[in-house]
Structure 1
Amino acid sequence: MADHQRSSDQSRRRRPSKKPEKGRLPAKFTVDLSQPPRARYNHITPFFQRVIQATDLAGIFKDLTNSLAGPNIGKIARYVAQLLLRRVRSNEETEELRGISQGSGVPMYLLVAFNALLDVLLGCTSGGVRVGSGLRGHGEEGSRIVHLRTLDWGMDPLRNLIVELDFVRSEGGPVVASVVTYFGYVGVLTGVRKGLSMSLNFRGRHDTSTWWKEMAFRWHQAMVVLGFRPSISTVLRQILLENSPFLPEKGHDCADRKKDETQGIISEDKVATMISNLLPSPSTAAYLIFCTPQFVRVVEKDHCSGTVRSSETFLAAYNHDRSDEEDPAQLESMAEHLAQSQAACGMADLVSFSLERKERLDQMWQESAASRRRRLKSSGDAVAMADVLKFVKDSEISNEETHYAVLMDPGTGEILWRRAYEEEDFIL
């Protein structure tokens, strides 16, 4: 008996240990929306005090302006920024930034620039995929859409500012929304609440068919930077926290309103109406990904227009238009342009490999769905949760440019899985 026990113990000791997961869990905090905006981040700022000072936002801003405008014009732009960048469009967000500025010592103009420019310089993979539960597949009760998201770009110092935030409307109250973001960034890049998840991807193309459309687009960008118009990430925050003019008024449907207030969930009809209202609104160019428990929608947003694709099974957005898949030369041309104007941000490589990321994710989804159909002898298109986790961990989806990866469940309004990465995590 003793010999058998020793043999069993030795066998357990010889068993190879589980390979450690790449990355780290980001720091997590609660933000109480009932507090004055200027005080909402007071309990978080000390945690990031040394980190945000070591991050050198001034140096990042210098690199960014030099990359976008050249050293000479960049120097002038930084001087003008110190004089003019005093606020963002939202009074609430401006007050939050003032509180962060006071607590961290970071000049207000740098935080405003950070919030105005970041959402137009992100390379990402975002999408939704139907996940089955047990023996249930697509079309049967139990399956739902899960939102996958990686955020990529070349500003490595910002990796140390990655944070997860839960929003509540009263101290000790239930969580109404969650985001993964950078400390000091008050818009929404990646977020979820009951009934809806969302993410934002960089889009390097906009309508230049007439000089007027080009000028209108550039004018809008200038108005965002100067705080006269909301950024697209501010618009997403308003939608996430149900404080948006694009959402239907609550009084329009009493039955839906009562259901929404009781369950704290945004209905499918409400989301569809919101997207319709959002399309003609002025904004920068971006890919917007919205997931509900039963649908994934990808919006190719231009300045005052947009197109929508939707799916009940699988759909993803990267950093290229759907038309680029038919004519890859368009994407190559855009990548070459970015290589000349935004090399410091690492966007050229992210855009040039966008089609490869799509092909890889499509392949993994097709193989996983087919494997599950064979295993369960079903005709559904759902995959397992383990498959979705495999998707975001794949080396072509998460790479040395990836700052963080997230899985979100719009059904429960929760972040299911999240990892923050360093570049070294992907070095073989």
Structure 2
Amino acid sequence: MRSVSPLFDEVIEWLVGRKLASVIKLASRHALRRVFDKEQTKEIRSIASVVKIRTHLLISLNLFLDLMLGCTSGAALVRPEPGDRDGQDTKDRLMHFRTLEWGMDALRDLLVIVEFVDSSKGDTDEVVARSVSYAGFVGCLTGVRKDLSVSLNFRPTHDCTTASLRRHQLSVLLGRREAVPSILRRILLDHDIPSNSLKVPVYNGPHINNSEQRPLSITGVAKKFISMPTSPCYITLCNGFKVVSVLKDLCTGKAKTSSLFQVQCNHDPDHGTCCGPKANNSPPEATQAMIIGEDDWLGESEGRKRVLEEKWLQHMAAVTKEAGEELKPCINSLCLDADTRADLGINIKVRGVDEAILQQWINTYPTTNECTHFACIMDPAYGTIRWIARGRN
């Protein structure tokens, strides 16, 4: 935990340069006193007291951690392994896959799986949610509970004005607005979840005809999130039957859904060029650009997305061949922004990809690479983490 201190120094020097770094560090001791959520502020102060590090360093970790996150998030229809060790059913369902890349190797040793229990019910053994996180970080980057999994991806560009974004970021630093990981924690713990009556204008992609599907609330969660002022980002929500990807700007956002497959990395996809990076007037955030460069960042993100899309389309080709159909080329080749089955002119039941194969997909370069801290597969239908692995150093 004490490794957070030099990490904070390193981030500040990247952001403002060495000349101003000492001034910023001094000011942060007085400015970084709390986060927006009172409960999370208490947790941060308690952790800082126990591990004997300054509170403002832990607060900075919680506010800056979603900078420099390179991630792959998505969901795929999966056929679970037979003889499930947890006694769960083996019906095909969506599972949420996730890798997290960070430019700071020092954080690898801080990786933890946090289990949340509801002490108000008196049963401290019942886990209500799980989060893959870093020691000292109280927000949520990756988490799952029954009927909902969530993950956060960094978005290096923005559509709003730079001035309005900086005002928002200053409000977050001063604890006047909520950081995205803090919002996602409340969503994960079912705090302030919007009602099912809320609707969001989303693209309703391909769906599975399944009479056992339950009413969904993740589109309502997406609408609530879109309506809140937040830093630009991508989030992925899944409940085992449907996945929703949200592209979020400061005060606006877009969402699309699918019941078969979705993947999001760290660029705004341009569906006129097979989901490559979309041209944007705003450059990537300065910190990220300084570390790996704008072109490298977008190129790596596009490559990670394209590889997984190719693998899913190969699976679709095998499924259609088994059904005696022919996989016709999509208009944009690898673009999965449209209803895949409708584009192909077929009407077949799509079987899930084997769970072991999905693990191979996620654990293979470039999806897992030298910057990957961890990779995991979550099962929101049961609120469990099916598989998790540390990244390669």
TM-score using structure 2 length: 0.80
Counterpart residue type for residue 260 of structure 2: T
Matching residue within 387, 403, 406 for 2:357: 387
1:160 paired residue number: 109
Give unmatched runs, 5+ long, in structure 1: 1-51, 136-140, 251-265, 424-428
* Offset at residue 370 of structure 1 (A): 3.1
1:206 paired residue number: 158
TM-score using structure 1 length: 0.74
Change (3 A) 1:347 1:147: farther
What CA distance in whole angstroms lies between the structure 2 residues aligned with 1:143 and 1:381?
7
Matching residue within 29, 32, 35 for 1:85: 32
Contact 2:156 2:288 (8 Å CA) reproduced: no
Q: Secondary structure at the match of 2:114?
A: strand
What CA distance in whole angstroms lies between the structure 1 residues aligned with 2:358 and 2:33?
42
* Percent of aligned pairs with the same amino acid: 32
Counterpart residue type for residue 158 of structure 2: H
* 1:169 partnered with 2:118: yes
* Offset at residue 120 of structure 1 (A): 3.1
2:180 paired residue number: 232
* 1:151 partnered with 2:100: yes
Considering fraction of residues, name the structure with more helix.
1
* Offset at residue 106 of structure 1 (A): 1.5
> How many corresponding residue pairs?
343
**Could you list the per-position Cα deviations for residues 337-376 of structure 1 after superposition, in whole angstroms to 9, with x for gaps in the alignment?**
55x6435655754433111111111111122343355568
Change (3 A) 1:122 1:325: farther
Counterpart residue type for residue 374 of structure 2: Y
Counterpart residue type for residue 60 of structure 1: L
Contact 1:123 1:347 (8 Å CA) reproduced: no
Change (3 A) 1:239 1:329: closer
Counterpart residue type for residue 220 of structure 1: H
What CA distance in whole angstroms lies between the structure 1 residues aligned with 2:149 and 2:364?
22
What CA distance in whole angstroms lies between the structure 2 residues aligned with 1:273 and 1:379?
28
What CA distance in whole angstroms lies between the structure 1 residues aligned with 2:365 and 2:272?
22
Change (3 A) 1:124 1:354: same
* Offset at residue 247 of structure 1 (A): 2.0
What CA distance in whole angstroms lies between the structure 1 residues aligned with 2:94 and 2:44?
34
* Aligned ranges 1:299-318 → 2 under 5 Å: 299-318=246-265
Contact 2:218 2:238 (8 Å CA) reproduced: no
Q: Secondary structure at the match of 2:99?
A: strand
Q: Secondary structure at the match of 1:120?
A: coil
What CA distance in whole angstroms lies between the structure 2 residues aligned with 1:351 and 1:389?
25
* 1:188 partnered with 2:135: no
* Offset at residue 68 of structure 1 (A): 1.5
Matching residue within 391, 396, 402 for 2:366: 396
1:47 paired residue number: none
Contact 1:299 1:308 (8 Å CA) reproduced: yes
In terms of mean alpha carbon deviation, does 56-65 or 227-236 score higher? 56-65
Counterpart residue type for residue 179 of structure 2: S
Contact 1:122 1:347 (8 Å CA) reproduced: no
Q: Secondary structure at the match of 2:370?
A: coil
2:56 paired residue number: 109
Counterpart residue type for residue 391 of structure 1: W
* Offset at residue 288 of structure 1 (A): 0.4
Contact 1:126 1:201 (8 Å CA) reproduced: yes
1:412 paired residue number: 382
* 1:142 partnered with 2:91: yes
Contact 2:219 2:244 (8 Å CA) reproduced: no
2:166 paired residue number: 218
Change (3 A) 1:68 1:351: farther
1:25 paired residue number: none
Change (3 A) 1:419 1:319: same
Q: Secondary structure at the match of 1:297?
A: strand
1:355 paired residue number: 302
What CA distance in whole angstroms lies between the structure 2 residues aligned with 1:342 and 1:322?
19
Matching residue within 264, 284, 288 for 1:342: 288
Contact 2:100 2:372 (8 Å CA) reproduced: yes
What CA distance in whole angstroms lies between the structure 2 residues aligned with 1:400 and 1:331?
27
Contact 2:157 2:280 (8 Å CA) reproduced: no
Change (3 A) 1:165 1:347: farther
Counterpart residue type for residue 288 of structure 2: Q
Give unmatched runs, 5+ long, in structure 2: 83-89, 198-212, 325-347
What CA distance in whole angstroms lies between the structure 2 residues aligned with 1:207 and 1:268?
33
Change (3 A) 1:396 1:186: same
Contact 1:153 1:350 (8 Å CA) reproduced: no
Q: Secondary structure at the match of 1:100?
A: helix
Whichever of the two has the greater Rg, that structure is 1
* Aligned ranges 1:60-99 → 2 under 5 Å: 60-99=7-46
1:35 paired residue number: none
Contact 1:81 1:109 (8 Å CA) reproduced: yes
Contact 1:65 1:77 (8 Å CA) reproduced: yes
What CA distance in whole angstroms lies between the structure 1 residues aligned with 2:174 and 2:374?
29
Contact 1:268 1:292 (8 Å CA) reproduced: no
